[in-house]
Amino acid sequence: MVKDISKNLVGQPIFKQIINLLPKNKFDTLVLSKCSDKYYKTFTSWDQLVTMLFGILSRCDSMSEVCDSMVGLQGKLNQLGMDSSFAKSTAGDGLRNRDNELFKDFYFQLITHFQSVLSVSRIEKISFDKLFIFDSTTIRLFSDIMKGVGRNPKNDGKKKGGLKVHMMIDAHADCATYARISEAKMHDKNFLQYLKLAAHSMIVFDKAYNHYLQFAKWTNEKVYFVCRMKSNSAYEVVNQMFEQTLEPKQAGVLKEEHVHLKYQEDKVEKTLCLRKITYQDDKGRIYMFICNNFEITNQEIAFLYKKRWNIELLFKKLKQNFQLHYFYSETENGIKTQIWCTLIAHLLLKILSVKANTKKAFSTICAIIRIHLISLLELFWLIENTRRTYTKKKRNKDPVLQTEMF
């Protein structure tokens, strides 16, 4: 076997090359506006961001593991803009006291900063340039810092807490454009009012977000939506526009109806006009969708709701590839800070995947980055190629030559 000497080595570790993607000037401007370094002599906001990203990308389970692991990087910390590694108590104080709004605002600045990179992809068969998906995911906590859901434990056991991450993603870019963290007991539909949507945009969500008053406001603002209808919804059928019969295992639209729904605004009963689509999937299951757009086809309405699964896949990526079941702090501010930093890490890896134009799975990219986090390999070469280091020499199988040897 012959060693492959064509390694793409650079003078910076992988982690430093990832950090270089961050616009530090924008982060520094944000720090000055929020005065987040006012009472800190050593552990600056940038130090905390770098420390958190190191722990998240390396999948450390605690702040002790993060700080102890960075002790071995003393010769490389100057490349990250840090003078030395920090004690666990110092990092813990930063998580407890520095407002998580700093990292939240920086995440949304990154969304705007990388907009040109994220907008290169587009879902086919969708007529909307602005397509958003909204949903929430619950993260259980082993403490009652934030109130969870469920029954009280028996035998005087300790009730677990929980939080919800309410998220709206750009379906074309597959990244979050809105996120809000709340206690797990908060009802999902309460957060629809916080969404800021432009006219002629489309948003898709599940039936847990049925809120007729909000639907009416969106209709007046020419914001379109698709969601599932609750089975106990009261409505009046005005007109049946389409109906067909399908085989039990045949997928397609069964019926399309024009319906009226009643809602109250300022104690006055009003009527909302919607389209009701009855759809059958290839397993014979029946779904009912409602939509306020009367121009697109009923097949596109069903296809739009099918794309709602993309946000479930995003939640799965976050929970499987990042440490969202081990938190570095037992305070609400520290937990929220870790979640915002996790979203920043996910966005950075998403940017790497798009720029490298690779077909590797997201989990594979996370594993490669984690294993080679302090290697001096060139970042995009590592993601794009990842080939064998040793090449096997071919043996001469000529029978004549083998005979002459003996």
Q: Which residues contact 225 (CB under 8 A, 6 or more apart)?
A: 202, 203, 204, 205, 215, 218, 291, 292
- The CA distance from 261 to 270, in Å, is 8
SS3 category, 161: strand
Average pLDDT over residues 352-362: 88
Grade residue 406 by pLDDT with cuts at 50, 70 and 90.
Answer: very low
User: How does pLDDT run across 315-336, given as a tens digit for each residue?
Assistant: 999 989 998 878 888 888 998 9
Query: Is pLDDT larger for residue 80 or for residue 314?
Result: 314
Of 164, 184, 57, 111, give the one whose Cα is nearest residue 347: 111
Of 127, 187, 157, 48, give the one whose Cα is nearest residue 307: 127
Domain count, the chain: 1
Q: What is the pLDDT of residue 405?
A: 46
Grade residue 33 by pLDDT with cuts at 50, 70 and 90.
Answer: very high
The verdict on residue 289 lying in a domain is no
- 344 residue type, one letter: I
Angle (CA) 325 329 333, round 5°? 105
Average pLDDT over residues 194-220: 91
The verdict on residue 382 lying in a domain is yes
Average pLDDT, the chain: 85
Instruction: Say if residues 203 and 126 touch (Cβ distance below 8 Å).
Output: no
Q: What is the pLDDT of residue 45?
A: 93
| Helices marked H in 146-236 | 212-220
Poorest-confidence range of 22-31, 131-140, 255-264, 301-310? 131-140
Alpha carbon distances (Å) from 389 to 195, 228, 385: 50, 52, 11
Angle (CA) 356 56 326, round 5°? 140
Q: Which residues contact 2 (CB under 8 A, 6 or more apart)?
A: 390, 391, 392, 393
- The CA distance from 300 to 306, in Å, is 10
Q: Which two tokens mark 309?
A: 């699964």
User: How does pLDDT run across 119-153, given as a tens digit for each residue?
Assistant: 767 788 888 989 999 998 888 776 656 555 554 55
Average pLDDT over residues 363-386: 87
Does position 209 have pLDDT exceeding 80, yes or no?
Answer: yes
- 258 residue type, one letter: H
User: How does pLDDT run across 39-79, given as a tens digit for each residue?
Assistant: 888 889 998 999 999 999 999 988 899 888 887 776 667 76
Does position 196 have pLDDT exceeding 90, yes or no?
Answer: no
SS3 category, 118: helix
Q: What is the pLDDT of residue 398?
A: 55
The verdict on residue 34 lying in a domain is yes
Query: Is pLDDT larger for residue 137 or for residue 401?
Result: 137
Q: Mean pLDDT highest for which of 104-108, 356-360, 372-376, 401-405? A: 104-108
Does position 168 have pLDDT exceeding 60, yes or no?
Answer: yes
Poorest-confidence range of 93-107, 111-125, 168-182, 197-211? 111-125
Does position 257 have pLDDT exceeding 60, yes or no?
Answer: yes
The verdict on residue 381 lying in a domain is yes
Query: Is pLDDT larger for residue 189 or for residue 340?
Result: 340
The verdict on residue 151 lying in a domain is no
Query: Is pLDDT larger for residue 337 or for residue 325?
Result: 337
Instruction: Say if residues 19 and 80 touch (Cβ distance below 8 Å).
Output: yes
Residue-number span of the structural domain to which 49 is assigned: 2-107+338-390
Instruction: Report the chain's C-alpha Rg in angstroms.
Output: 26
The verdict on residue 49 lying in a domain is yes
The verdict on residue 39 lying in a domain is yes
Instruction: Say if residues 110 and 344 touch (Cβ distance below 8 Å).
Output: yes
DSSP 8-class letter at 72 = T
Count, in order, helices (H) and strands (E) of the chain. Answer: 14, 11
Task: Please report, rounded to a whole number, the percentage of residues in the chain having pLDDT higher than 90.
Answer: 46
The verdict on residue 38 lying in a domain is yes
- The CA distance from 398 to 28, in Å, is 68
